[in-house]
Every structure is written in C-alpha cells, then in structure tokens.
A and B are shown apart, each in its own frame.
Chain A
Amino acid sequence: MLKIEGLFKQFGGFVAIDDVSFELLEGEKHAIIGPNGAGKTTFFNLVTGHLLPDRGSVAFQGEDITGRPPHRIVKLGLARSFQRINIYPRMSVFENVQVALIARERQELRFFRLAAGLCGPETNELLELVGLDEEADELAGELAYGKQKQLELAIALAENPRVLLLDEPTAGMSPSETEEAIRLIREIADARGLTLLFTEHDMTVVFGIADRITVLHHGEIIASGAPEAVRSDPVVRQVYLGEEEAANGAA
C-alpha cells in the first residue's frame, strides 16, 4: 500500500528521520512506537506531504507521491488525524465534518450551491459513529478535549480513506476515554477494511490494536515485526520497553 524508501529529514543540523525504509501492507493495523522525540510525527508529516523530505521517496499504491501537496495526496485515499487537536474551532461540529465531505465530493468550488444540508445524512452518520451526534450544533472549539479528539477522527474518516494515519489518537485522554476510543478505532477499521498506521505511546493501546509494530528511535527503525517478537527483542527492551519494565519492576 505504502512504500517508503530511504527517507531522510533534518531540521537545521538535527537529523529527525534517518534513512527510514518501511512498507505498510494492505489491511494491516500497524503501530509505530518510540519514545517522545523519536520522529514519529515527523515521519507522518513526510508521508502525508506536510513536510518535504531531504532524500528518499514515498509511494502510495505504486504511485510516487514524494513532494506532492497534502490536498492531492488525500484525494488518493490517504487520510490522517493529528496528535495536537487540529479542527475548525469557530465552526460547528457538524460543519467540521461536512467540509471534509464537501471536499471529498469536489464541491468546494460550487459557488451557487447552498451549503445548508449539503451532505447532511452522511455527516450525521459519521457524527453518530464517533458519538458526537448530540453535539452537532456546538462550536467545535468549545467541545471537551476527548470529544475534539473524536471529531478529529470523524474528519479523517469523512475522506473515506483506504489508509488512515492516526497520530497518537488517544493522547491526553482519560483511561476510560482511551478504552472507548480503541474499541471504536478497531471497529471502524474492521468494518471499513481500513489499513491503519498509528503512533501511540500507550502500550496497552498498541498491543490492543496492532498486528505489526515498528519501533523508531532517534529517527531510525530499530525493530519491526509481530507484537510478540518486538516485545521480546533485546534492543527494543533496552531502549524502550526495558525502561518501562524496569520502572514497573522497581515499583
């Protein structure tokens, strides 16, 4: 589905992504883990066209998309959500999702087609799916944090993507919200046959969803494979899981 070769990106002199090659297989739920600052968000930004790589290539379904702007990449069926809330605060919850549908249906240059009610049924369906149907008329900026995160997901889903990139979909959520969000993401991915690539710091989330895990450390991939294999990988234990388990052991 997604094939990345020799991706390299530096900020000033700091190498954030160091020669990363990676392949996302159709239908899999793939997690990218790694400590804070490992380069996960940067990796997503490179893949989705938000940042230009210094070297390397990104191909989606065999098509080279390196250097294309986000609005063209998303039209191919590659949508994403953001780690930091990224919605339209002064628009209603309904309008937040509706705009994504308007764009998907290529209606954004229809000057004389009134927006009221446009794509209404599908917007409402999506809001219901993520549990925001009761908040449809509220301003998105006034929603509680967890709900904004769900809205973020609904906007990404509205693009009807084949591949969905989720950047820390449960960051900042309470444990119960997290559990609910994981259940939802897994359900939606299965129901829609989505290929999922997500980053996450919460290990229970990762092992709850992922069929494959890639570990990023200082911008480099240090391990990749089935969850059990990654969990028992000595290098991974040392740099990442190990720290956590050591902490658990001490407690």
Chain B
Amino acid sequence: MTGRMTRPVLAACLTVLVLLALVPLLESNYLIDLFNEIMIYALFALSLNVIIGYSGNVSFGHAAYFAIGGYTMAILLTTYEWPLLPAFAAAVAFSFACSAVVAYFCTRLTDIYFAMLTLAFSMLVWGVAFKWRLMTGGDDGFVGVDVPAFIAERVPFYYFSLVVIATAVAVLWVICHSAFGRALLAVRENPVRAGFVGINTRLMRWWAFVVAGTFAGIAGALFAMVHRGMYTESAFWPESATVLIMTLLGGMYSFFGPAIGAASLFLLERLTNEYTEYWPLVLGTILLAILMFLPEGLAGLAQAVRRQILRGR
C-alpha cells in the first residue's frame, strides 16, 4: 500500500478496463451479464475493504448499504418515476446518510462489539425490506425496475455500468491513497499511537464507515438496474458474509485484492453450480483455506511469489 500507482499496476488497470470494454464484442448475453455482475461485486468488496483493510475493523453487515442503495434506486426509478441522475444521486446520498447514522453508533465500539453492531443494524435494514411490503415488495422482492430507455438495452447498460464503476473505483483509489487513507492505516496499525500524534481515531473510523457505505450504495444501485429488481436476500446476513469472504480471499492488505477476490469467488460459484449443488461446502473449504494458508489472500500470495522470484534472481 505505498503511495503512488506504480507503472505495472496502472498498466494492469488499463488492460483490465480495455478487456472489460471489449466483452460486448463477444455477443454473448450470458457473458455480458456475468461480467456486469462481477464488476458490481468488485466495487462492493472494494468498498468493504475501506472498513476492513484500511480502518482495521470487521463489518458483518455491509450488505445493508448495498441494499439501501439498490432499493432506493428501484423505488425512485419505478414507483416515483424519477429520472436516472436524480434517482442515482438520491440512492447514493441515502446510503451515505444511513451509514453516517449507523457509523455514529458502531464506531463507539471496537473489535467484536463493532462487528456485532454492524450485523444488528443490517438485520434491521433487512427487517424493513421484508416487512414494508408496500414500498419494497417484501419477500416477493421489488420486481420490474424501470430502467431509463437509453440504457435499457443490455449493451448500453453494460457500458453505463462500466463507466460508473471505473469512475467509482478510481475515486476510491484516490481516497485510499490520500492523506486520509494514510492516517486511516495508522489507526488500523496502532490506534493508541495514532491518537497520540493527534488523530481523532473515532472520527477517522466514522469516515471510513461512511465512505464504505456510500460506495456500497453505488454498487447496489447498479445491481437493482442490472437485475431489474431488488430482493431481500441482498440485505440478508449471508450476503454480508459473501462480500466479506470476497475481500479476505482477494487480500485486505491490497487495494485491488478484494476486486480479484470478488471475481474469483463469483466465477467459482458459477462454475461449481454447473456441476454440483454443494456450493456452501466449497465456500466453507475456501474460507478455511484462506484462514489457514492465505491470511493475506490472493494478492498477498502474488506478492510473496514475486518477492521469491526477485530474490532468486
């Protein structure tokens, strides 16, 4: 997590961007939808990592902000027939506001108490989505989101999604590598010492939570559009666990790690489901493997391999 974007990283980012832009040329609806969803989960996992990797707290309830962004988008576009931009802005603003309130309470606590409180708040959000049938469709889900005509087709929407996500990731990168990001790392590494150099650690953790919640809201808003619907599963705790596993699998000590984790886990799930019904078993095994052998995830593994090669030379 050094300061500058190194040349190889920049080159890799641009390559990925170009490859993603070329996906529609394959003319496969399946692949377009697949990659769109992978990008959305990549942003979701990257946002969670602001809390985990950068501020050093574990959230068990990050799906809440994804769901808030998604439901807000679905309801404003469809029920209230708002145009795209205001609806998007409102969805993001509402995710911001909700995470700001929750963060106020959660950042009073640390460690397991923090994690449990994030879980509690996410169950609250799930409860609202489940019970407020009139607004959210309850457990039938919110079906039939009105996506504006100019991006209603699959390919235009894919490009819209790509632009939004690429921009969001770029902004998130800057935030994580800013003066704020650096001070946040200090809070993760040693909150006591950070306090003694003049950093208000609670305020920093509050901001980390709010940044994470806001970007999760962006991912959620896109999710509601790509699926033309929003469902209570998106707010339920297993969804929070999935994005947590994505983040850990990719590697929380690397900015891009969680995106790699999201792509890997997503593809693996699709692949596994083609052959067996035992995805949870596979998921459990993966989690076990990360905890036992890959505490720094795939990104950490890649770094270790690179160090070995450099040393061997």
Contacts and interface: CB of A to CB of B under 8 A. Distances in A.
Interface string B187-214: 0011011111111110110010001000
Given A90-B253, A95-B185, A111 B180 contact: yes
Given A88-B185, A99-B186, A116 B193 contact: no
Contacts of A118: 179, 182
B197 A116 contact: no
B178 A115 contact: yes
A70 B175 contact: no
Contact of A102 (B175, B177, B179, B189): B179
Contacts of A150: none
A155 interface: yes
Contact of A158 (B175, B190, B197): B197
A90 B199 CA distance: 18
B196 A79 contact: yes
Contact of B175 (A80, A95, A111): A111
Looking at A82, A88, A89, A155, the one whose CB has the most chain B CB atoms below 10 A away is A88
A12 B201 CA distance: 28
B181 A115 contact: yes
A91 B185 CA distance: 8
Contacts of B189: 88-91
Interface string A11-33: 00000000000000000000000
Contacts of B192: 50, 86
B177 A116 contact: yes
Given A89-B189, A109-B207, A115 B3 contact: yes
Interface in A79-112: 79-80, 82, 86-92, 95, 98-100, 102-104, 107-112
B4 interface: yes
A16 to B, nearest CB: 19
Task: Give the interface SS of chain A, mostly helix, strand, loop or mixed.
Answer: loop
A68 to B, nearest CB: 11
Contacts of B193: 82, 86-88, 155
Chain A: number of interface residues, binned into ranges: 35 or more
B74 to A, nearest CB: 29
Contacts of B195: 69-71
Given A91-B189, A109-B180, A114 B198 contact: no
A48 B196 contact: yes
Nearest to A92: B2
Interface in A56-85: 69-71, 74-75, 79-80, 82
B2 A110 contact: no
Contacts of A88: 185-186, 189-190, 193-194
B311 to A, nearest CB: 15
B174 A102 contact: no
A96 to B, nearest CB: 8
Contacts of A69: 195, 200
A112 B175 CA distance: 6
A99 B186 CA distance: 7
B249 interface: no
Given A48-B196, A90-B253, A102 B183 contact: yes
Given A112-B174, A117-B3, A71 B181 contact: no
Contact of A75 (B4, B180, B198): B198
A200 interface: no
Interface string B152-192: 00000000000000000000001101111111011001101
Contacts of B200: 69, 71, 108
A74 B207 contact: no
A155 B2 contact: no
A168 interface: no
A110 B186 contact: no
Contacts of B253: 90
A111 B207 CA distance: 10
Contacts of B178: 110-115
Looking at B190, B198, B203, the one whose CB has the most chain A CB atoms below 10 A away is B198
A167 B293 CA distance: 39
B196 A113 contact: no
Contacts of A103: 183, 194, 197-199
A72 B3 CA distance: 28
A66 to B, nearest CB: 17
Nearest to B196: A70
A119 B181 CA distance: 15
Given A86-B190, A113-B179, A114-B177, 16 more contacts: A71-B195, A71-B200, A88-B186, A90-B185, A99-B182, A108-B199, A108-B200, A109-B180, A109-B203, A111-B174, A112-B174, A116-B3, A117-B3, A155-B197, A158-B197, A159-B198
Top 10 nearest A-B pairs by Cβ distance? A116-B3, A88-B189, A108-B183, A115-B182, A103-B198, A100-B197, A107-B179, A99-B186, A110-B179, A70-B195
Interface of A: 48, 50, 69-71, 74-75, 79-80, 82, 86-92, 95, 98-100, 102-104, 107-118, 155, 158-159
14 contacts: A50-B192, A69-B200, A70-B195, A71-B200, A86-B192, A95-B186, A99-B186, A103-B197, A108-B204, A110-B178, A114-B178, A114-B179, A115-B179, A116-B177
